[in-house]
Structures are given as structure tokens and as C-alpha cells.
């Protein structure tokens, strides 16, 4: 056997030629979306909160108190929201698995015909599709998963973890939210110093997110900075208006 066909030597892992230059990141775990959302939300929401409070002529003590409260409230809210949303999505997938299993038990022949049609739509000949269907349906668990992947585009074996999503969201929200607070915690009283830290945080967070998605880091950083500036500026203006009215 050639090296390209694998190595059967005990204790050595066989490597397919395609594995060398073709691998994929984990897109089903749920942690990257939750972490990115948490970091961006923490940065933008707490920066905007601090800007709005400071625009109302509040002192550094009030700004810090508001920022810490926003950090804790937002982090727990994000974690609970992520846990609940991912759990609900997983329960919906489980419900669809039960529906598919009942259909397998009540209408096995119809399920085979359905799969043959789907495989033919993918380009297989009728004979090949029927043979593949018979082989797939020899294992009901595998057949159910295959049907759901084809019909719904989800694999029940690869559901994201609600705990991972919640923890990622909590930690990253807290990390993002503390960045605009750092200057105030270190004794600074200027809002613009805190906003400068926020801008740097937005640039870094956007670039890191783009790195994970293999996109342009410059574009990712700039996009997050622009969105953040808009949200913070609007909140700052509203804070000034409220102060003027009161």
C-alpha cells in the first residue's frame, strides 16, 4: 500500500491525502457565535451606556457604578438568553427526530421512496439511488440522521452545547464590557479616554472574529468600529438631550 493510501502500521493514525490541505473549523459548537456576539454586545452596550451617563454630567463614581451594573446585568442576561435559545433549538431538533422515527415505523416503504427521490435529485441514477437507500436503511439510526440532514439541513448528532454557548457569552460579554470601564477604574475621569479604549477593543474584536472566519481582518475591524461608533454616538446625543430637558 502506498503512503497516499494510508498507513496500516499499528499505533499510527492513517491520514487521507485530502486531510493534509483540507480541514474545516467546528461550525456546530455554538461557541464562536456566542463569544463574538457577547464581546461585541458588551463593548458596544457598555460603551454606549457609559457615554450616555457621562453626557448627562454624571461624575466618575456614577459612571463606574452604571458600568459595573451594566456589565453584570448584561452578562447574566446574555448567558441566560444563549442557554435558553440553544436549548430550545436543540429540543426542536429532538422533536423532529421523534417525528421522523414515527414515520419510519408507520411508513417505512414511503421513507425509502422519499430517499431514493432525494438521491436522484443529487445526481444519482435510479438504480444507484435504490441501492444506496437500501444500504442506508439497514441502520435505522443512521437512516434517520441522513433523512434529517437532507430534509432539514441539520444533523442531530452535531447539536451545539447550551452550556458552552452560555459560558462563552457570559465571559466574552464581561470582557467586552470592562474595556470602556478600565480608565475609570484606574482613576481617569475623562469620557474620551474610555471611548478610545472602546474603539481599540472594537477594532481588535472585529479583527479576531474575521480571523476565525478567514475574512479580511481590516474589513472586520473597520465594520465593528463603524457600527460601535454609531451606537455610542446616538446614545451620547440622547444623554445630552435628556440632560438639557431635565
User: How far is the C-alpha of 91 from the C-alpha of 97, rounded, in Å?
Assistant: 10
Lowest mean pLDDT: which of 63-67, 110-114, 130-134, 240-244? 240-244
Residue 5 located in a structural domain: no
82-103 pLDDT tens trace:
999 999 989 988 898 898 888 8
Residue 132 located in a structural domain: yes
Q: Give 19's pLDDT tier (boundaries 50, 70, 90).
A: low
Residue 22 located in a structural domain: no
Entry pTM = 0.72
**Beta-sheet strands, E only, within the chain:** none
Residue 20 located in a structural domain: no
Residue 29 pLDDT greater than 80, yes or no: no
Predicted confidence at residue 76, as pLDDT, reads: 95
Q: Give 20's pLDDT tier (boundaries 50, 70, 90).
A: low
Residue 26 located in a structural domain: no
Predicted confidence at residue 69, as pLDDT, reads: 93
Residue 12 located in a structural domain: no
For residue 128, give its domain range: 31-245
Closest CA to 43 of 240, 200, 222: 200
Tell me the three state secondary structure of residue 7: coil
The total of structural domains in the chain comes to: 1
Residue 13 located in a structural domain: no
Amino acid at each position: 500500500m502506498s503512503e497516499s493510501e494510508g498507513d496500516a502500521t499499528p499505533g499510527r493514525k492513517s491520514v487521507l491525502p485530502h486531510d493534509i490541505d483540507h480541514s474545516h473549523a467546528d461550525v456546530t459548537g455554538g461557541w464562536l457565535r456566542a463569544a463574538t456576539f457577547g464581546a461585541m454586545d458588551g463593548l458596544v452596550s457598555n460603551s454606549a451606556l457609559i457615554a450616555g451617563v457621562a453626557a448627562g454630567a454624571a461624575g466618575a463614581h456614577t459612571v463606574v457604578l452604571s458600568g459595573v451594573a451594566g456589565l453584570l446585568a448584561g452578562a447574566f442576561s446574555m448567558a441566560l438568553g444563549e442557554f435558553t435559545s440553544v436549548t430550545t433549538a436543540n429540543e426542536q431538533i429532538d422533536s423532529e427526530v421523534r417525528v421522523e422515527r414515527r414515520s419510519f415505523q408507520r411508513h417505512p416503504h414511503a421513507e425509502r421512496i422519499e430517499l431514493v427521490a432525494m438521491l436522484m435529485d443529487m445526481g444519482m441514477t435510479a438504480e444507484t439511488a435504490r441501492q444506496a437507500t437500501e444500504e442506508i436503511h439497514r441502520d435505522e439510526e443512521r437512516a434517520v440522521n441522513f433523512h434529517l440532514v437532507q430534509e432539514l439541513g441539520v444533523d442531530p448528532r452535531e447539536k451545539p452545547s447550551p452550556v458552552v454557548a452560555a459560558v462563552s457569552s457570559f465571559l466574552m460579554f464581561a470582557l467586552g464590557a470592562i474595556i470602556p470601564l478600565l480608565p475609570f477604574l484606574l482613576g481617569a475621569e475623562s469620557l474620551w479616554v474610555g471611548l478610545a479604549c472602546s474603539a481599540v477593543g472594537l477594532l481588535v474584536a472585529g479583527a479576531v472574529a474575521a480571523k476565525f472566519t478567514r475574512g479580511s481582518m481590516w474589513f472586520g475591524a473597520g465594520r465593528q468600529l463603524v457600527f460601535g461608533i454609531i451606537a455610542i454616538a446616538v446614545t451620547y446625543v440622547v444623554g445630552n438631550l435628556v440632560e438639557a430637558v431635565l
